[in-house]
Structure 1
Amino acid sequence: MLKGNIATRFYQDPLTFLDQEFPATGDVVQTGQNEYCLGNPVDARAVLRNNEGRYLEHSDFFHTRHGLFGPRSAQLKIRRASRALLRNYLDTPGQGELPAFLKANLPLVSEWPDSGNRLVYRYLLPVLLAPDSPPKLRLLLERIVETAVLANAKSRQPRWRRMILQFKTTLLLSRAIEARQALARPSPIDLLDVVACSAEPGQKVDELAEVFLSFVFAIAGSVGFVLGWSIFLSGTHPDREAPPEWVVQEALRLWPVAWQLGRHPAKEHQVSGVNVSTADEVVVCPYLVHRNPEYWPEPAAYQPERWSNPEAWRNPAFIPFGYGPHRCVAADLSSQLVSEMLGIIARSNTLTVAARDTRPTVAAAMAPPPFQLTLHPRN
């Protein structure tokens, strides 16, 4: 039996447990009978890079119920096409009209982090689905965001409703992908096209549907939570004014949305001084890596000004979007968008944040605690 029932302590309050154990117990924190959280940045990068084949190939984005979506050529096709599509949308003058969008969609008083998820989702909806897509499909995505993406969304819905939604989602998206494949456009008009056109011979349509849903969760969930954390930290530290880019970087450092990246060993080996076998799971933990005191002074403190130093941007103990071949392909674009949104909101308003809790919502993604944002327009 694990000392002090470690697994129970971890799952009851994972962040407190990690804070108490790291770095006192070394670069690895055992969090279960066969589970180890890794906080050493050099070893963490080596695990995610997996050059020596010590771990089973895995991608958090391309993971489906059928296993790892592939082949690799299809993954690369999706990565290249999706980045180009998003880059074009963000860089085309007037296409998104971000200031006008925020003015129209962000009221003076709003509830977060849900408001952040909805803002990012609605702004990037034309990238997910072209405006002329069937209304039924657009309504489906809206429902997915509300019932499966928002913080604690799953706990608000009974399991039977979630199962029905999952069935309808797979059915409608599969049909939509087949319709897009029949059109065979020379270049994709949205991310649904990107996924549909990436199919290799014999590829399951429902697997393509899951990959498309990964885009929905990444945009509405992950990017939305980064915006929420940036707003939360700005509003709870009004005396620490800093460029929005620094605030976003510090939010990503302190509260990485993707805070656990699990990998299964393909063979026995040693990582950070711990022997692991094929029965174990090694979890690269950006939350620990980003708070490693050997790489960050005062690692638990909110200090956006630390990003004024160019060395901070090259610090190896910073992996909020993963690392290696499966690193988020739109990492820089996501940070750019959140920085622009934060800058527009903060330049036009004084922010007041009333936190309803001080603790993050910890699930697969790490969401900010619930808070109310009040905007006081500047004269």
Structure 2
Amino acid sequence: MEKDTIGVAGAEAMDAVLRARPATDVERPTFKPVSGKPVERRESSALMQALGHDVRTALKTPLEDHVDLSGEWPLVGHNYLRDLVFGPDPYRLKVLVDRSLELTPKLTWTVVATGAALPGRPQPDDPLSSVAGLTANATGYQQRRRALFLYRRVAGPICFTIAATVTAVLWLGSPFDDDVPNAHLIHEALRMLPPSWNILRRASPEFSEIDSRIGLDDDVLLLPLLSHRDPRLWEAPDEFRPQRWRDLDPETHPGYLPFGHSNERCWGRRMVMPLAERLLDLLRRDGYSVDPRQTQATVPLAGLMEPTGVRVGRHSR
């Protein structure tokens, strides 16, 4: 793909590469080093436990009787999830989940630095999400800045990923047939538009043993975007067919990697599915679908693979 990067899209080769060794710190997007300082496993575990608690708390709340989900997606879905999971948090924290911060890392660091410098930071006994509670224990500017950046690293992806996934479900599948389960819709949307459409592994001697075309200095870019549409693995791979998941196991189907490999699944997969299903419950209950007049949407490859600018409202079939 580039002078020092080999692309891999075959299911068996991808499986072999991902089994060859665990991901390193720099290959773990959420917990890669911050300003050159590693995120220790104890720290990442505490963050994930806190996030899991916040997600479980959110899922226990009854479905809202009235919630306006009309407008431009994935922004509407993102904001709903931010308020559902991190609603109690003060603005200086919730602003870190804002989608506009994706424009440039410098903007993210500017907002983080500003929040760390402001007086009157949250206290441990304030009404906060569990993730935000960890930031309240930080002392000194540098610790607060790191804590706020990790809040962004943890809180942002859960909203980004679910909003992207549900937007893909809306774009590809709405209006929905009543007999199709949410889980099948989600798995099929993740197949066609996987949020993480590539997985990078830095050069490692184990990879050359898998295939001689991989040099000792070659990075490897695994491409679920291609394996998810491989006609050797899928019937009618370019068609949105959620019913295919009645007979397929998303945990074991070859080449299906929306949450990474079976021996190292994405940290958020057990949170993504139930939150996405909750959001779909609301959309389906209240009859939301994509504006039938909209026939095109942009799917950028710069970050998450998601349809953008999707107009959603209540439309008759």
**TM-score interval w.r.t. the shorter chain?**
0.7 to 0.9
**Residue type matched to 1:246 in 2?**
H
Kept after mapping to 2: 8 A contact 1:355/1:370: no
Kept after mapping to 1: 8 A contact 2:54/2:86: no
**Residue type matched to 1:145 in 2?**
D
Deviation at 1:41, TM superposition (A): 3.1
Deviation at 1:331, TM superposition (A): 0.8
Kept after mapping to 1: 8 A contact 2:85/2:129: no
Identity fraction in percent = 20
Residue matched to 1:70: 39
Change beyond 3 A, Cα 1:164–1:148: closer
Change beyond 3 A, Cα 1:311–1:134: closer
Change beyond 3 A, Cα 1:324–1:310: closer
Q: 1:270 aligns to what SS in structure 2?
A: helix
Q: Which has the higher strand share?
A: 1
Deviation at 1:212, TM superposition (A): 1.4
Supply the distance in 2 between the matched residues of 1:135 and 1:57 (Cα, whole angstroms). Answer: 30
Residue matched to 1:231: 170
Deviation at 1:368, TM superposition (A): 0.8
Q: 1:275 aligns to what SS in structure 2?
A: coil
Supply the distance in 2 between the matched residues of 1:82 and 1:349 (Cα, whole angstroms). Answer: 30
**Which one of 87, 98, 101 corresponds to residue 63 of structure 2?**
98
Correspondence 1:112 to 2:55 = no
Correspondence 1:172 to 2:115 = yes
Deviations 1:330-350 (A, max 9, x none): 313211221222133123316
**Which one of 346, 350, 356 corresponds to residue 284 of structure 2?**
346
Kept after mapping to 2: 8 A contact 1:55/1:267: no
Superposed CA RMSD in Å reads 3.5
Supply the distance in 2 between the matched residues of 1:291 and 1:117 (Cα, whole angstroms). Answer: 27
Q: 1:99 aligns to what SS in structure 2?
A: coil
TM-score by length of 1: 0.70
Kept after mapping to 1: 8 A contact 2:93/2:148: no
Kept after mapping to 2: 8 A contact 1:174/1:209: no
Gaps spanning 5+ residues in structure 1: where?
Answer: 1-30
Change beyond 3 A, Cα 1:294–1:272: farther
Kept after mapping to 2: 8 A contact 1:124/1:219: no
Correspondence 1:373 to 2:316 = no
Supply the distance in 2 between the matched residues of 1:169 and 1:84 (Cα, whole angstroms). Answer: 24
Residue matched to 2:132: 192
Correspondence 1:147 to 2:100 = yes
Change beyond 3 A, Cα 1:377–1:84: same
Q: 1:367 aligns to what SS in structure 2?
A: coil
1:200-211 maps to which residues of 2 (within 5 A)? 205-211=144-150
Change beyond 3 A, Cα 1:34–1:86: same
Supply the distance in 1 between the matched residues of 2:29 and 2:47 (Cα, whole angstroms). Answer: 15
Supply the distance in 2 between the matched residues of 1:58 and 1:361 (Cα, whole angstroms). Answer: 22
Correspondence 1:251 to 2:189 = yes
1:42-53 maps to which residues of 2 (within 5 A)? 42-51=12-21
Supply the distance in 2 between the matched residues of 1:81 and 1:204 (Cα, whole angstroms). Answer: 18
1:265-304 maps to which residues of 2 (within 5 A)? 265-267=203-205, 269-270=207-208, 273-277=211-215, 279-304=217-242
**Residue type matched to 1:294 in 2?**
R
Kept after mapping to 1: 8 A contact 2:25/2:32: no
Gaps spanning 5+ residues in structure 2: where?
Answer: none
Residue matched to 1:41: 11
Change beyond 3 A, Cα 1:233–1:45: same
Supply the distance in 2 between the matched residues of 1:68 and 1:40 (Cα, whole angstroms). Answer: 35
Q: 1:276 aligns to what SS in structure 2?
A: coil
Supply the distance in 1 between the matched residues of 2:225 and 2:313 (Cα, whole angstroms). Answer: 29
Change beyond 3 A, Cα 1:258–1:175: farther
Change beyond 3 A, Cα 1:339–1:137: closer
Deviations 1:93-137 (A, max 9, x none): xx3x3333xx32323xx22232222222222223xxxx2x44444
Kept after mapping to 2: 8 A contact 1:357/1:369: no
